[in-house]
Amino acid sequence: MTLQPAERQFFAGEQPLGFILFGRNIQSPEQVARLCSELRDAVGRNAPILIDQEGGRVQRLGPPHWRQWHPPLDQMARAGDLETAARASFLRYRLIAHELLALGIDVDCVPTADIARPDTHPFLRNRCFGEDTASVVTGARAAAEGLMAGGVLPVMKHIPGHGRSRADSHKDLPVVEATAETLRETDFAPFQSLADLPMGMTGHLKYLAFDSERPATQSPRMVSLIREEIGFDGLLMTDDLSMEALDGTVGARAAAAIAAGCDIALHCNGVLDEMRSVVAASGALEAPALARANSALDRRPEPQEIDIPAVEAELHDLLDGEVYG
């Protein structure tokens, strides 16, 4: 898969902040590295390149070229106590960062800071780090630190909390009926503890206690809550605008999200005509969103040295050999 001339021309003219890769873009290490270079060359700068590489059900890079991981919730359970879980999570995402940066990918849409519940929809449940605030914060914080130690920025998701979803937001709009007090004490709590992370992604859910009409991605009330109550002042992007939890055209979806206070509209299906409408609806990146974007990208760290065999051996010992899926 290579960048097509029409795409190159579009990106050069419109100057998106960055790019996100999916399984359809992945063939081999050499091809992915070349694609990353082509994307950056098209815009003439070191644009961030994102991917969803959680490990488990959601990982765009897999065998035979890259490691296949157990889902985060499964690994946390195997680790047992929180101290072991934190170290294992750090090592896991340090290895993932090493794989990503070797390709030119410098942002990973991790950690998922949602709290898993018995009725959390299967599309999400085992992607979480735990069933309580302490477990989620422990695993998610360690994951973010592991990525950053490897030179990769984390994207915390799905603000302000997706764990109560009993629907798949790729297909339907989940509606959360919990009280404001309950949400503040549970679902929102991990995000408050992780609010210093550089990037975050909204969830496409409707929280009746706060806004009975609009999902969080398009709700000024919910974005205000994310900023003021949760305290997240990093770069806030939408979840994929192509997901069917949202109504209307992708252009209308983007316009509503930006109007609500999201900084970045994330469009993921790769259809050029839809990309054009999203760009037209979103407008140029201006202050204060531009300042948040620059601040987040300025935090892209230099990777620390890593001894791959030693990291793998330690992770193997921590998890009694149950490391890879």
Average pLDDT, the chain: 97
* 19-21 sheet: strands from edge to edge: 19-21, 49-51, 107-108, 153-159, 199-202, 235-237
Domain that holds residue 104: 5-318
Q: Is 18 inside any structural domain?
A: yes
Q: Is 182 inside any structural domain?
A: yes
User: 30-68 burial, b if ≥16 CB within 10 A, otherwise e?
Assistant: eebebbbeebbebbeeebbbbbbbbbbebbbbeeeebbe
Provide the pLDDT for residue 103: 98
The 8 Å CB, 24+ separation contacts for 256-261 are 256/214, 256/217, 256/218, 257/202, 257/217, 257/218, 258/282, 258/283, 259/218, 259/220, 260/214, 260/217, 260/218, 260/219, 260/220, 260/222, 260/223, 261/220, 261/223, 261/224, 261/227, 261/236
Provide the pLDDT for residue 18: 98
User: If pLDDT is split at 50, 70 and 90, which confidence band does 241 have?
Assistant: very high
Digit-coded pLDDT (tens) for 308-325: 999 999 999 999 999 998
Digit-coded pLDDT (tens) for 78-108: 998 999 999 999 999 999 999 999 999 999 9
Marked catalytic residue, from 239, 240, 263, 267 = 239
Asked if residues 137 and 194 have their Cβ atoms less than 8 Å apart, the reply is yes
Active site residue 239: yes
User: 255-271 burial, b if ≥16 CB within 10 A, otherwise e?
Assistant: bbbbebbbbbbbbbeee
| Residues pairing with 20 in the sheet | 50
- The answer on pLDDT for 288 being more than 90 is yes
Binning the chain into helix, strand and coil, the percentages to the nearest 5 are 45, 10, 45
Q: Is 202 inside any structural domain?
A: yes
What average pLDDT does the segment 267-291 reach? Answer: 94
Instruction: State how far Cα 280 lies from the chain centre.
Output: 24
Provide the pLDDT for residue 4: 93
Digit-coded pLDDT (tens) for 267-278: 999 899 999 999
Marked catalytic residue, from 170, 172, 211, 316 = 170
Provide the pLDDT for residue 270: 87
Active site residue 162: no
Q: Is 323 inside any structural domain?
A: no
Burial zone of 287 (CB within 10 Å; 0-12 exposed, 13-18 middle, 19+ buried):
exposed
What average pLDDT does the segment 211-229 reach? Answer: 98
User: If pLDDT is split at 50, 70 and 90, which confidence band does 134 have?
Assistant: very high
Burial zone of 178 (CB within 10 Å; 0-12 exposed, 13-18 middle, 19+ buried):
middle
* Closest to 128 in 3D by CA, of 142, 140, 146, 118: 140
Query: What CATH number is associated with residue 104?
Result: 3.20.20.300
Provide the pLDDT for residue 1: 77
Q: Is 324 inside any structural domain?
A: no
Q: Is 74 inside any structural domain?
A: yes
- φ and ψ at residue 168, rounded to 5 degrees: -85, 115
Q: Is 282 inside any structural domain?
A: yes
Q: Is 325 inside any structural domain?
A: no
- The answer on pLDDT for 49 being more than 90 is yes
* Closest to 246 in 3D by CA, of 235, 262, 233: 262
What average pLDDT does the segment 283-295 reach? Answer: 95
- Region class of 51: left (phi > 0), else alpha (psi between -120 and 50), else beta: beta
Total number of domains in the chain: 1
